[in-house]
Chain A
Amino acid sequence: MLDYIFSVNFIFAVIRMGTPLLFVGMAAVIGAKANILCIAYEGMMLFAALGGVIGSAYSQNIFVGMITGILAGSIIATIFAYFVLYLNTKPLLTGLALNTFGTGGTVYIMYLLTGMKLDTSSLASLQFPTVHIPIIKDIPFIGPMLSGHNFLSYLAFVVVIAVWYFIFKTKMGLRIRAVGEDPDAAASVGINVKKTKFIAMIISGVIASLGGLFMSMGYMPYFTNAMTAGRGFIGIAAQNLGRGNPIFTMIYTLVFGGAMAIGNTAQSFRLPSQFASMTPYLVTLIGLVVIGSRNKKLKTKKQNIK
C-alpha cells in the first residue's frame, strides 16, 4: 500500500478525485465568508451535472454544455439565496430541501428526456478534454503526475487562486467579508447586506456547478443517479477544517481526495470495499476532532492570558 502512495498514479488520482472537492470547497469558502450556512451544494452539483450533460448532448458543443450546467446549478443557488435572504427560511432546511429536490428532480428530468432512471448513457453528451501540458508532460515522474488531467482539474486550481484573490484583494470580496463578520457594521457604512450575500451565494453556486460538471463530463462520461455521493458535504467539511482560508481548504480537499483515491484501490490490497468507501468520511470526522481540540486549546490559552 505504501508503494502505491508513493507512486505517480496516486498523485494523479489525488488530483482527479480532489477536483470536484476543490470546487465545492471554494464554493463553501465564499459561502462561509458571507456567513451563510449553505448545505445545498449537493443539489447544485447534481443539477449542474445533469444540465451540462443535457446542454452538450443537444447542442454537441462543450461551451453550451458548460453554460447550461452552470445555469442549472445557479438556479438552485438562486432559489436558496432567495428563500434564505428574503423569505427568512432556515438555511439548513432550505439546503436540505434543495438537496432532496436535486436528487429527485434530476432523476425526474432524466427520465423525462431519456426514459431511463439510472444514467444518461443513452444521450450523446460531451466530455471536457484532457490537457497535455507541453514540456511538462515530457519530464519523467512529474509529467505523468501533472499532465494529462481533465481541463476542469486545472481550472479548479485556477479557481483556488481566483477565490483567494477575490476574497482578499477585491472590493466585492471585502464587502462579502464585512457582511459575513458583522452585518450591522457593514450596513452602517452603506453596504446592502442582502444584495451582497445574494451575490456571494450566486458566485458560490457557479463554482459548485463546475464541480458538478466535472462529475458528469470528466470523472464519468455521463450523469448517474445521485452521482455526487456526499461530495458536496465533504467540500463543506474541508472548508470547516481550513477555517475559510482558500489555501488551507485546498490542502484539506486534496487530503480527502487522497483518502478517496486510497479507497478506490483498497480492494486490490484485499481490504473490504466498504472500509474503502468509509475512509474519506472517517478521515473527515477525525480531522474535525483534531482541528476542534486545537482550536479549543488556543481559545483557553487566550482566555488565560486575559
Chain B
Amino acid sequence: MINSTKIKTTKQIEGNFRIIRTLFAVLIALVFAFFLIATVSDNVLKDFTTLLIGPLANSSRMITVISKMIPLLFTGVAVSLVYSAGQINIAAEGAFFAGAVAATSVALIEGIPAPIHIILTILAGSVVGAMVMGIPAIMHVKYDVVTIVSSLMMNYVALYGGLYLILNPFRDPLAGFEASFPFAKSAILPHLFGNQRLHIGLIIGFVVVFLISILLYNRPFGYSIRTVGQNKKFANYSGIPVNKTIVLTSLLAGAIAGIGGTVETLGNYSRFVYTGFTNHGWDGIMLAVLCRNNPRLIPFAAFFLAYLKTSADSLNLTSKIPPEIISVIQAIIIIFIAAERFLAKWEHRKIVANSQRALAIEKGE
C-alpha cells in the first residue's frame, strides 16, 4: 500500500513522455543549430550563447520578445482551434494577411471617434479573416474538397487580392516605398506602459487565449469540436451536427487570425507595409503542434518562439549567421515532436516496468 502511491497510470507515463519528447526535440534542434552556427561562425561559442540567452541581455530585447509574441498568440490559438476539430486548414496565414488588409481599409477612413474606429477595424479584420478560413471549410463540407489543398490556394488568393488593394487603390504614391496611405490616428491601437512596441493587442491576445480555452474545454460546443476532431462518425451518431461544427470552428479560427493581423498592423505600423506573407500563420501551426492543440499552452509556446526569433535577429546583427537558421530549428522541432514513435522503445519499457510493479504489489497484498 505504501508503494502504490509511486505507481503511475499508463496515461501519466504517456503524458510524461510527451513532455520528454518535446524537450528532446528542442535539444536535438539546438544541437543541430550549434553545428549550423559552427559552419558559418568565427566565434561559435559566443554566437551560440547569443542564440541561447541573447534576448536576456537587455530589457529592450525582452520587450521585442513580448512584442513578437502578440501575433503568435492569435495564429497559435486559431490553428489550435481548427486542428482540434480535425481540420487540416492552413489558411491562417491568408486570414492573418487578409484581416490586416481589411482592417487597413477601415483604418484609412478619417473622422471616426477612436474607440469605435478600433472596434470597427477589428470587426472588419475578423469578418474577412473568417471568410478566408471559412471558405475552404465550406468547400470541404459541401463538395468534399481536400482542405489542405484548398486552404493553401486560399492563402495565395488572399495574398494577391490583398496586395492588389494595398498597391492600387490604397497605395500612397508619396510614401517612397510600397505602402498604403497612413492610418487615421483614431485607428491606431493605444500603447501599453507608454512603450512604442507594446500595444493593447497583447491584452486582446490573452483574452482570446482565455476565451477559447474555456470554449474548447468547458462548453458543450467545445466538446462538439473535440469530438468531431477525434471521430467524425462517433460525433455524427451522438447527434452532433458535424458539418456545422466544422464550418463554425473554421470561421471562428479565421476571425481570430484576422484579428491577429489587425492588431499587429494597427499596433506596430502607421501604414500597411507587408509585401508578402508574414509567416505568422505557419508559425501558428508550429505552436499548435508544440501545444498539442491546447490553447492554454499557446502563450508559453508563443513566448518560446518569439524568444528564438529575437535571438536569431540579434545573432544576425552581431554575426554572419542568417536568420533563416530559425526555419531550420522550427522544422526540426516540429518533426521530432510530431514523431509518435520517437523514443517509443524507452516509453514502452517504462510502461511495461510500471505495470509489472503494479502487478507485483497487487500480488503482495
Residues of A within 8 A of B (CB): 37, 39, 79, 83, 86-90, 92-94, 96-98, 100-101, 103-105, 107-108, 111-112, 117, 230, 233, 236-237, 240, 272, 274-275, 277-278, 281-282, 284-285, 288-289, 292-293, 295-296
Contact = CB atoms under 8 A, between A and B. Distances in A.
Q: Which of A87, A105, A240 has the most CB of B within 10 A?
A: A87
Contacts of B331: 97-98, 100-101, 104-105
A281 B156 contact: yes
A86 B335 CA distance: 13
Contacts of B150: 285, 288
A292 B139 contact: yes
The number of chain B residues touching the other chain, given as a range, is 35 or more
B223 to A, nearest CB: 23
A221 B157 CA distance: 28
A97 B338 contact: yes
Contact of A86 (B154, B328, B341): B341
B325 A108 contact: yes
Interface of B: 36, 39-40, 88, 90, 139, 142-146, 148-150, 152-154, 156-157, 160-161, 163-164, 167-168, 282, 285, 289, 322, 324-328, 330-332, 334-335, 338-342, 344
A274 B161 contact: yes
B54 to A, nearest CB: 18
Contacts of B282: 96, 100
A112 B40 contact: yes
A100 B325 CA distance: 11
Contact of B149 (A79, A87, A288): A288
A93 B143 contact: no
15 contacts: A83-B335, A83-B338, A88-B339, A88-B341, A92-B148, A93-B338, A104-B325, A104-B331, A105-B327, A108-B322, A108-B328, A274-B167, A281-B156, A285-B150, A295-B144
Given A274-B161, A278-B160, A292 B334 contact: no
A297 to B, nearest CB: 10
Given A87-B341, A97-B335, A278-B161, A288 B152 contact: no
Given A101-B327, A233-B152, A285-B157, A87 B340 contact: yes
A303 to B, nearest CB: 14
Contacts of B163: 274
A87 B342 contact: yes
Contacts of B334: 93, 96-97, 100
B92 to A, nearest CB: 12
A108 B36 contact: yes
